[in-house]
Amino acid sequence: MAFRDAFDNVRSWVDSLSDRERNLLGLMAAVFCVLLVVVPIYVAISAISDIESENEDIARVLQDIRRSEPRLLQQKADRRAVQRLYSRKAPSLGGFLEERAQQYGVTGLSITDQPKLDMGAYSRRSVRVSLPVVEIRPLIEMLADIENSSYPIAIEQIQMTGGRMRTGYTVKLAVNAYDREGSAATEEE
């Protein structure tokens, strides 16, 4: 009943309006109905469009990840190789270098130990080596063997003088060994 009374009140109110006011009221009702239909559709389409662009972005990221997988695997292998390298403590540099020199027939080594240097999780031991007169081929073979050893050893500096008319070169080397402080498993990732 209350609904019928309210509807009758609205109908009598509309009947009392002029033609121009009725036309404006009808236009306003049409706009309201259009808004009632169009706005939800627009919101839904906009949401779907946003979801589609998000999906495209996610697909691009996944594709980038797939493309970078070989590089990531290589980085992981490099990290493992470094961990294996540092898992073995480098031997005493003096003894190691003398052994390599004897192996390649290089004589007259003069080795001077340098102070140990702490560098965060690593420490560096250094020696300076002087070779009075050495032929180039055994020297290069010895240096390659030192550089390619299974220990974390690096040749930092090579200074050569002589050559041409002399029978060999005078060589000075700086060789470093690196040790990881702490356990071998600390850098697992």
Q: Which CATH number fits domain 90-180: 3.30.450.20, 3.40.640.10, 3.30.70.60, 3.40.50.1580?
A: 3.30.70.60
Beta bridge partners of 169: 134, 162
Cα 98 from Cα 80, distance rounded (Å): 30
Question: What is the per-residue pLDDT across 112-149, written as a single tens digit (0 to 9) for each?
Answer: 888 888 888 888 899 999 988 888 888 899 999 988 88
User: Where do the structural domains in the chain lie, given as residue ranges?
Assistant: 1-87, 90-180
**What pLDDT does 182 receive?**
63
CA distances from 115 to 55, 94, 124, 177 (A): 58, 14, 9, 12
Top pLDDT among 167 and 49 is at 49
What's residue 164's pLDDT? Answer: 63
Residues comprising the chain, all counted = 189
Query: Residue 150 above 60 pLDDT?
Result: yes
Work out the end-to-end distance of the chain between its first and last CA atoms, rounded to an integer number of angstroms.
76
> pLDDT by residue (tens digit) across 67-106?
999 998 999 999 888 787 787 788 888 888 899 989 988 8
Residue 186 pLDDT exceeds 60: no
Asked whether the predicted pLDDT for residue 185 surpasses 50, the reply is: no
What mean pLDDT do residues 6-34 have?
A: 86
Q: What are the tokens at 107?
A: 């004589």
Query: Over 70: is that where the pLDDT of 175 sits?
Result: yes
- Whole-number Å distance between alpha carbons of 4 and 10: 10
